[in-house]
Structure 1
Amino acid sequence: MLLGQLLKSVGKNYQKIRVRGICFDSRKVKKDYIFFAIRGQQTSGINFINEAISKGASAIISDKKAKHKNYQIPLIVVNDVRISLSEACSNYYKKKPSNIIAVTGTNGKSSVAHFFYQILKLNMVSVASIGTLGIFFKNYKKKTNLTSMDPLSLHKNLQILAKNKTNNVILEASSHGLEQKRLDNLNINTGIFTNLSHDHLDYHKNMQSYFNSKLYLFRHLLKKNSKIITDEDNQEFRIIKKIANKRKIKKITIGT
């Protein structure tokens, strides 16, 4: 593929760069891969640009804070490396199941995902679930390291499921995954909110930041004509209802 096919906003000078793979781990770079230099909490991909180049990377995608050096290959600056990574992965692995559901909340994500999977499976409907417990598909089970996989693994596995004629997938959407844009560039049909309680404040610092990471699913990732399912007895329902009304998203509620 060409870089212009993966990142639509890339400049004309870079559109015809050959891409044979996508990577954000410099140790896994191969010839003609594009390397996304992601900034993490502990370290930054910028520190590994030279390693990626030495292994044959055809281009580097970095953010505005990257220091411009005289690299041997193009260094392309974007506003958000994580969003660009999700976009590239989505375009590289084009096939997706037609019905993607994402469930978020402090507790209950795994239970909801597994119940959904079991109900459809018992009714002979093609279905898969992806989350803390792993990937479940027919008689296949694969362990995953994260509740919400990195974009490269996620889109790759979704394409595998689509090629196996799996039309329905339910994903667990963790606050970390949403905050880090791992679920961007997916056509999510339904968003489910379970609840909110104190958790992950070492990462999100405060409850409002934590809640906002959950709301990212409903504010930005749900496509047109999608649905929100939640408990109207939750104290967070008022805010979720407001988002649904503003975006003209159908609400399906449970509760008293």
Structure 2
Amino acid sequence: MSTLQRWHDVDVTYPPVDRFGRLDPGDGRAAITPETVLVTVMHANNETGTLQPIADIAEITRPRGVLLHTDAAQSAGKVDLDVDELGVDLLTAVGHKMYAPKGIAALYIREDVTLEPLIGGGGQERGLRAGTENVALAAALGAAADLAARGLAADEAARLTRLRDQLQAELTERLPARVHLHGHPTLRLPNTLNIGIDDVVGRELLAAAPDVAGSTGSSCHSGDDQPSESLLALGLTPRQAASALRVSVGRWTTPQQVTAATDSLAAAMTTTGG
């Protein structure tokens, strides 16, 4: 149960996703009622990297006067973002996903959208959040966003895609017929790879390959042994979800490091019974 339901008695509807983790805009349309005031959809899933059809959803929400929010924490700095093209009313971006320090984020608010203050009292943040701003972190977020924009202009997304696909190809070659992609094969972030490996528990595999930085679900829930809800929503069984491994490539990742990660994971298979 969500906090909105628990604390504020708000009715929340959760439309299903397809086997790739994408929302069918038709299902979104069916979930909207005359009482609906807000639709919120992740722009990119934080486990599989699957991108959602936000612009298509906006074409449904806007004529109905329903606000559309998208969480772009994962996608900001990884793919091109244009709030006008997406058609969103609200968009959140997180600094540390763009190499800014942790603890800073940004909220885009369309000009004619009125919000209640998150923290009342002072006039900071245009009256929406009282308290002295952390100027250093705000400046760091701006600098990180600028560097990310330069990287996108220099085709950084294509470089990350090559590294991501290299990792998947090398693991598939080392473990033939045992590696399965979770998420959409093309409509996904360039840096994120989520795979399942037959007859392996992802948590145990990572423990046996300590030089590989990865996770078995969302980084927000690292250490949680429960199957990922995101992966179960794709139709995976708990056993299949437990075999998941999420690995990301980044600004300083090299092809040599990708191969080294493949070698480590393949070697770890022998110690985990795989």
Q: Which structure has the bigger radius of gyration? A: 2
Structure with bigger strand share is 1
TM superposition score normalised by structure 2: 0.24
TM superposition score normalised by structure 1: 0.26
Relative contact order higher in (CA < 8 Å, ≥ 6 apart): 2
